[in-house]
Structure 1
Amino acid sequence: MRNIEAVIVDLDGTMVDTLGDFDAALNATLSDLGRPGVTRADIERMVGKGSAHLIRSALRHGGLDDAGAAALQTDAWERYQAHYKAINGAHSAVYPGVEQGLQGLRDRGLPLTCLTNKPLAFARALLQAKGLDRYFGLVFGGDSFERTKPDPLPLLKTCEALGTLPAATLMVGDSQNDALAARAAGCPVVLVTYGYNHGEPIASAPHDALVDSLASVPALLA
């Protein structure tokens, strides 16, 4: 990883602990629909593959089959978007070491891009609310490309936007979505040991290094 020319960083579970935001917006949505609520532990297993997947998983968790969840999906999506917009960032916090790590990467002259499965408008608003937007030249969300992580397409498209080869572009994330996408795209990947990985040990996901804090990432590139 000593020839890295740019860094792609995930958002939820990597830079910001947003579980509280998901909890508030998702349970408000389920309440609107008269559906059973979900716990934070449930959400932690469901989150990471975009809002549509999260909503569908929560509806199925409450006892609906695929057809029943699909019937409510449009209404649930609209309600969830409204609830999330109203509370975006209110119940979340930046993880310790994040700004130190981002600044350390910037000090090395590396361009940074945020790539998340969160809808782009919510991602931009959250980064701004937490004072992290100043570190990123580019931000891409789950609706920026035709497919989302763990598909490699978002990473490949981000590398194109950066003008760097995948092999020279580091992915930093918290879950197998980031790991699998990076491997398929040909990007090296560093995973944080906190965050959300569907209830599975993060060490079982493909990785080049594991770190307990984003502050440790710049030293890996020395």
Structure 2
Amino acid sequence: MNNAIFFDLDGTLVDSKSDLGKAVVYTALNLKLKILSKEYILSLVGNGIHRLVRDYLDSIACPDYYNQFLNIFLLYYYDHVCEDSYLYDGVKSTLLTLKKHYKLFVVSNKLEKFSKKLLNELGIADFFEEIVGGDSFENKKPHPQPILSLIERHAINPLSSLFVGDSENDYFASKASNIQMGWISFGYKDESILKKITPDFIFDKFRYILNIAL
């Protein structure tokens, strides 16, 4: 059986907040809706695009605009998915080392085509055996289906594998898959999340994954 490391995308490999925030502002302007502060919009990022859109519209008391907002948002964001987004420090070099010893996967709640385009533009898509998104399976994180499906498809040994992420969704999906979880402390979630989850490892820098993986 193969050993694997599974990665979340946004807030783990990539900081994509700025591009997501700009897509919210563009869409709100297009629909002539209220524009909230940049800081507030960015605080909504981290739970997937559908939740971001829903939370923003709830914040301005316009939930009936959901379908319109989402459609415009997706069209704009696909064309501007990697204007300001960037890899966290140490991601590329660490993945290059890990790839020699593990099969690497991305399991994101971002739609698959957006995930693949973003990682292609950042130059690391080829590091991964598969990149799956929130629409790749019937269920998405925190449901374990994406991870369990990849485990079966690639003959992965969960007991010698690892999931690296920054959110509750990552934690619960990995634990339901019987995989150890490493929490990224510099991602979208601050230390208050540790009141809800008990990760096996905490990584203050991305390259620290090498300390337990090799």
TM-score, normalised via structure 1 length? 0.88
Count of aligned pairs between the two proteins:
213
Corresponding residue to 2:194 among 198, 203, 209: 203
Corresponding residue to 1:10 among 3, 8, 11: 8
Superposition RMSD on alpha carbons, in Å?
1.9
In structure 2, how many angstroms separate the alpha carbons of the residues matched to 1:151 and 1:46? 21
Who is 1:171 aligned against? Answer: 163
Who is 1:180 aligned against? Answer: 172
- 1:4 is displaced (CA, Å) by 8.1
The amino acid across from 1:33 in the alignment is L
Corresponding residue to 2:154 among 162, 170, 175: 162
Corresponding residue to 2:81 among 84, 88, 103: 88
The amino acid across from 1:218 in the alignment is L
In structure 2, how many angstroms separate the alpha carbons of the residues matched to 1:167 and 1:15? 23
In structure 1, how many angstroms separate the alpha carbons of the residues matched to 2:59 and 2:145? 29
Who is 1:98 aligned against? Answer: 91
In structure 2, how many angstroms separate the alpha carbons of the residues matched to 1:200 and 1:43? 20
Who is 1:74 aligned against? Answer: 67
Superposed, which structure 2 residues align to 1:1-222 within 5 Å?
A: 5-64=3-62, 69=63, 71-107=64-100, 109-197=101-189, 201-204=192-195, 205-222=197-214
**Ranges in structure 1 where 5+ consecutive residues have no aligned partner:** none
1:177–1:45 CA distance, 2 compared to 1 (3 A): farther
Alpha carbons 2:48, 2:110 under 8 Å: kept: yes
Q: Could you give the per-residue CA deviations for residues 8-55 of structure 1, whole angstroms, max 9, x where no partner exists?
A: 011111111100111111111122222222344334442233211110
The amino acid across from 1:203 in the alignment is L
1:160–1:172 CA distance, 2 compared to 1 (3 A): same
Partner SS, residue 201 of structure 1: helix
Residue identity (%) = 29
Q: Could you give the per-residue CA deviations for residues 149-189 of structure 1, whole angstroms, max 9, x where no partner exists?
A: 12222221222222214333311111111112111221110
Alpha carbons 2:104, 2:127 under 8 Å: kept: yes
In structure 1, how many angstroms separate the alpha carbons of the residues matched to 2:69 and 2:107? 25
Alpha carbons 2:10, 2:16 under 8 Å: kept: yes
1:111–1:186 CA distance, 2 compared to 1 (3 A): same
1:44–1:149 CA distance, 2 compared to 1 (3 A): farther
The amino acid across from 2:138 in the alignment is E
1:39–1:173 CA distance, 2 compared to 1 (3 A): farther
In structure 2, how many angstroms separate the alpha carbons of the residues matched to 1:211 and 1:17? 16
In structure 2, how many angstroms separate the alpha carbons of the residues matched to 1:60 and 1:132? 35
In structure 1, how many angstroms separate the alpha carbons of the residues matched to 2:88 and 2:207? 10
In structure 1, how many angstroms separate the alpha carbons of the residues matched to 2:173 and 2:43? 19
In structure 1, how many angstroms separate the alpha carbons of the residues matched to 2:193 and 2:97? 24
